[in-house]
A and B are shown apart, each in its own frame.
Chain A
Amino acid sequence: MERIKQEPISLDDMLIVSDGPHIRSDRTVRRTMLDVIIALAPAMIGSIYFFGLNALKLIIVSCISCVVFEAGIQRLLKREVRIGDLSAVVTGILLAFNLPAPTPWWVAVFGAGFAIIIVKELFGGIGSNFMNPALAARAAIMASWPEIATNYVNPDGISTATPLAIMKAGGSSLPSLTRMFIGDIGGVIGETSAILLLIGAAYLIIRKVIDWKIPVFYIGTTAIFLLLLGIDANNIIYHILGGGLILGAFFMATDYSSSPVTPKGRIIFAIGCGLLTALIRVKGSMAESVSYSILLMNVAAPVIEKWTRPRVFGEVKRNESR
């Protein structure tokens, strides 16, 4: 940044002279993050409706902790404080969405600290995190307090197994599809309502904030591999609506800095997520697998990106004529 002078020269205090282009789109980082928050709002309201004040408490604690941690660490590291870009708020909401309703507040604080300080800021801040901060924090919580992180409850507050866990155990008392779709089922607070998440996702796609290819290829691949691995076709819809796949595919796998920037890379990344999700669900010991699948593919993203560097228009073979 030091090499090119950023400040255009102003002559006679009147005209600005700078390099082109002289016009810029009105899209900003803050606006992009605000769009994500708007897109998460329906599911947020749904989570409070289904899981009550506990959900509200977790969302507030998580968001405030993320913002405070971000401001604190940035000041400590003598970086510019960038809480105004709202990315910490997005991380806060997504972290809360990945916690079950009875989770104690201090777990959310721990998760926020892990996400913001370790995963985001220590690796360079916004745009430089190699994993999705909220998901990495969930994994840390899962490893530290497994019983808290998997203490799934039904909206009525009674401990329950998630639909995927019921299927995994071979049980048959699955909730109705309508309940699955609306979100009246057990799970972490933000993953249960497919319809509310999809409303937000549609908004993000229309606003061109996310690339539709990642969620579509992710969910599609998951469904195909589940079928190939012998899951009953009638149960596929439960697999798509349950286990946080919608939340993960539209809001987590699409995280900019932990997914490839190349068009082909994004598709391979999404297929990888889908394959891992199906494999872990069927062959692994866990019923839920979206978080780990995305985290594993996050780590693979830089390599995928290198493999899929686009072929330059009119490219002549290397070492030829140049």
Chain B
Amino acid sequence: MSTMLENLTFKGGVHIPENKDLTSSKAIERAREPKTVFIALHQHVGAPCEAIVKVGDTVKVGQKIGESNAKLSATVHSSVSGQVKSIKKMYTAQGIKCDCIEIESDGLNELDESIGVKSDWTNLSKEEIVNKIKEAGIVGLGGAGFPLHSKLLSAEGTTIDSFILNGAECEPYLTCDHRIMLEEPEKVIYGLEVLMKYFDNCDGYIAVEDNKKDAIDCLSKASSDKDIKIASLKTKFPQGESYRIVDSVLKRVVPQGGRCKDANTLVTNVGTSYAVAEAIQDNKPLYERVVTVTGNGVNEPKNLLAKIGTPIGDLIEQCGGFKGKPGKIIAGGPMTGIALHSLETPIIKETTGIIVLSEEEVKIDKVEPCIKCGECVSVCPVFLEPLYISAYSLKGNMEMANEYNALACVSCGSCSYVCPSKRPLTESINHAQNEIKSKREIS
């Protein structure tokens, strides 16, 4: 029997207009086959991969094309069958510049031989599970891009008694996780069972914000004969941030500077769990994902199952193209996502959405003096005083910014969102974090 937990929440945070109805009722559609893909060799937290194919090589769908010996890294695979055209530096949807393998598709979609080899978690050992996840190149699909096998292995030596699947999807506009939970609840649950087994049958939770009642019902039904807990969370940003979800679901506090494992738990996105199920059941590596292409700047917002490496322009075109003049294109959610400047930019594993805001929606606000209203203090989910950290950061006083705990900031953007003076709070705190960290590395 699955158990229900209700009205879970955390302190702080902010309510933001959701704008999810643009795509929440639209079923996942397979995106058109891209003519050319650009597979980034660095699309995860950790070390970049080395290319293991050369220009001129022919590759198949799901064939490994990049890997690294580093402990923290994730292999990358081709998402099309075709020929390697070039390996060049490009900006990816993560906003960084890195080597990308350009592959021209032959349109045949020929699968690598390894794909389709069936297996089942019940007769897999721990090592086999973690190896399959590693080979499939699975990373956190909620936007963080943390390699999953590294996460599992890093918990070695600590007791993990609970595994939480994050289906909060607290960012406005995004609905890719919502659709996955609605359309593939069995696979999401299957992936969770694999992860629960990995930690010696620990407790398993699927945490979903209560603006997705249908997904909660769907998961409850699909898990009715299983020992899984469905946690309904109050809708509030940034509920999906992993420490907030641990706090809400388990009432445990992840110590500052620590990781979830220090609270005896691990968290990963529901889409990641789906990818785990595919990797275990069909030996299918992570070469495609669901991307929500939305916003008032596109004609027909959709949830697309898109191949990694597809240029964002291709996806926008399939959604009817731009509606009016676009103002800003964001990879990820509007709170923590990254603004892109080119339609050639390829999507990566952690691209949850492509949001096109219209010209009118991205007016640049005039920055006014801080009026000390204290809103930023009341919404900060880690209980900082953003106004002071920001003031010190802008003055270049990083010692004081550090004194005010700049490093504890999770960059959720809530303070900047509520600020009536439109001050660059999150932006300047991020700047302070970088300065403080780089100084530490030097000394």
Contacts and interface: CB of A to CB of B under 8 A. Distances in A.
Contacts of A257: 371-372
Interface residues of B, number: 70
B157 interface: no
Contacts of B377: 261-263, 310
A288 to B, nearest CB: 27
Contact of A16 (B14, B328, B337, B395): B328
A3 B420 contact: no
B371 A29 contact: yes
Interface stretch (A7-15, A37-45, A49-57): A7-15
Main secondary structure on B side of the interface with A: loop
B385 A256 contact: no
Interface in A214-232: none
A100 to B, nearest CB: 30
A263 B371 contact: no
Residue among A1, A22, A266 with the highest chain B CB neighbour number at 10 A: A22
Interface string B325-363: 111111000111111111000000000000101000110
Given A262-B377, A314-B255, A4 B383 contact: no
Contacts of B335: 20-23
B428 interface: yes
Nearest to A8: B364
Contacts of A315: 255-256, 405, 408
A22 B329 CA distance: 10
A15 B256 contact: no
A15 B330 CA distance: 10
Nearest to A79: B369
Interface string B418-433: 1111101011101100
A266 to B, nearest CB: 8
A87 B253 CA distance: 41
A236 to B, nearest CB: 30
Nearest to B343: A15
Nearest to B367: A6
A8 B378 CA distance: 28
A234 interface: no
B55 interface: no
Nearest to B365: A24
Interface in B380-420: 381-385, 387, 393-396, 405, 408, 411, 413, 416-420
B4 interface: no
Contact of B258 (A28, A31, A309, A314): A314
B420 A31 contact: yes
B417 A23 contact: yes
A313 B172 contact: no
A302 B370 CA distance: 16
B315 to A, nearest CB: 16
B408 to A, nearest CB: 5
A19 B385 contact: no
A314 B253 CA distance: 6
A321 interface: yes
A24 to B, nearest CB: 6
A313 B252 CA distance: 11
A17 B93 CA distance: 13
A3 B394 contact: yes
Interface string A166-190: 0000000000000000000000000
A14 to B, nearest CB: 7
A224 to B, nearest CB: 25
B167 to A, nearest CB: 22
A316 B255 contact: yes
B256 A21 contact: no
B420 A27 contact: yes
A311 interface: yes
Interface of A: 1, 3-4, 6-9, 11, 14-25, 27-29, 31-32, 82, 85, 87, 125-128, 211, 256-257, 260-263, 266, 309-316, 321-322
Interface of B: 14, 16, 172, 243, 247, 253-258, 325-330, 334-342, 355, 357, 361-362, 364-365, 367-375, 377-378, 381-385, 387, 393-396, 405, 408, 411, 413, 416-422, 424, 426-428, 430-431
Closest 4 CB pairs of A and B: A21-B413, A261-B374, A313-B382, A310-B383
Given A6-B367, A20-B334, 5 more contacts: A3-B395, A22-B339, A23-B16, A25-B16, A261-B373
19 contacts: A4-B427, A6-B367, A6-B424, A14-B326, A16-B327, A16-B362, A17-B328, A17-B339, A21-B335, A22-B337, A23-B172, A23-B334, A24-B419, A25-B417, A28-B368, A261-B387, A263-B377, A312-B256, A312-B383
